[in-house]
Amino acid sequence: MKSSRGSWERKMAAAGLWPRVGRLFEMAPALGPWPRLYSTSPAFAEVLRLPQKQLTKVLYPLRELEQHLVSDTGPGLIEQRLFDPSLEDIARAESVFAATARNRIEYLSSAVRLDHAPSLQQPEVCFIGRSNVGKSSLIKALFSLAPDVEVRVSKKPGHTKKMNFFKVGKYFTLVDMPGYGYRAPEDFVDMVETYLKERTNLKRTFLLVDSVVGITKLDNIAVEMCEEFALPYVMILTKIDRSSKGYLLKQVLQIQKYVNTQTQGCFPQLFPISAVTHSGVHLLKCFIADVTGSLK
């Protein structure tokens, strides 16, 4: 079943009207001297001190990849770059993810069934992906400015996998869904399906795909689930530090083609990330902050 909401969002995005993105649509100024940023974390200040080439790679990995596109490769990635926030917006989003006395970021609870999930009004985002895709590593990277948050990993066979809920200040809840695939508990599909179908405050689903491996049969099933429930979802490509630029570009183009031709509800822009170098992680934080209305 194709999602009409998805195609609506896609059209809005194509027309430059992606809901709530507002001024984030403005093309970021060429990476030269940036506007004066208000208080930012020492870690992010460090990022801003990187030489320009490295800064582009860390903050805008797609932009960096585009430079290596040859003209006969067909439609590039530029058309897909709908979310292109300024450095200032990226810095603002950093503060949403930085734990302070006034911005408490904490693990809330775990649940195996939706009716055990915390009942919250604030917007929610969830992360799904097959086991080993790099989900825990990415969530740890997202919470690097909240060192007290423990991202629980349960990988032992037979160990019940749960949905883990994290509260990000007054802004939103982040849900780490159990990894699917080999070793997934039998009730996994029920748990995840019910959550995706019925969680009313769910704003965005982030589907992780390993950039080295590409889209697997298991990823396809997750895509079909998101499409069937007409969910607005976003594809994250993990472990981009593991490949050569040429191989990564090939993979990104292939996955982009898949998104363009096989999906309706998927945001047309991919989010390549590395939990090791943190490339793409700041941009992703900004996107999450935006879709949850945290940048207002």
What are the residues binding ligand GDP (CB under 6 A)?
A: 129, 131-137, 179, 238-239, 241-242, 274-276
AA letter at 91:
A
Q: How far is the CB of 196 from ligand GDP (least distance, A)?
A: 18
Backbone φ, ψ for residue 90 (5° rounding) = -65, -40
Q: How far is the CB of 272 from ligand GDP (least distance, A)?
A: 10
Q: Residue ranges of the alpha helices (H) in the chain?
A: 4-14, 42-48, 52-59, 61-66, 87-96, 135-142, 188-198, 217-228, 245-262, 281-291
Q: How far apart are the first and last CA of the chain?
A: 34
Q: How far is the CB of 130 from ligand GDP (least distance, A)?
A: 7
Q: How far is the CB of 124 from ligand GDP (least distance, A)?
A: 19
Nearer to ligand GDP, 251 or 274 (CB): 274
- Taken in order 46, 48, 52, 55, is the CA torsion positive or negative? positive
Q: How far is the CB of 233 from ligand GDP (least distance, A)?
A: 17
Nearer to ligand GDP, 104 or 242 (CB): 242
CB 96 within 8 A of CB 168: yes
Closest CA to 52 of 28, 26, 71, 83: 28
Encoded tokens for 250: 């090939």
Nearer to ligand GDP, 133 or 196 (CB): 133
What does DSSP say about strands 233-238 and 271-272: parallel, antiparallel, or unpaired?
Answer: parallel
Nearer to ligand GDP, 77 or 240 (CB): 240
Nearer to ligand GDP, 13 or 275 (CB): 275
Cα(155)–Cα(151) distance, rounded to whole angstroms? Answer: 13
Nearer to ligand GDP, 196 or 275 (CB): 275
Q: How far is the CB of 5 from ligand GDP (least distance, A)?
A: 28
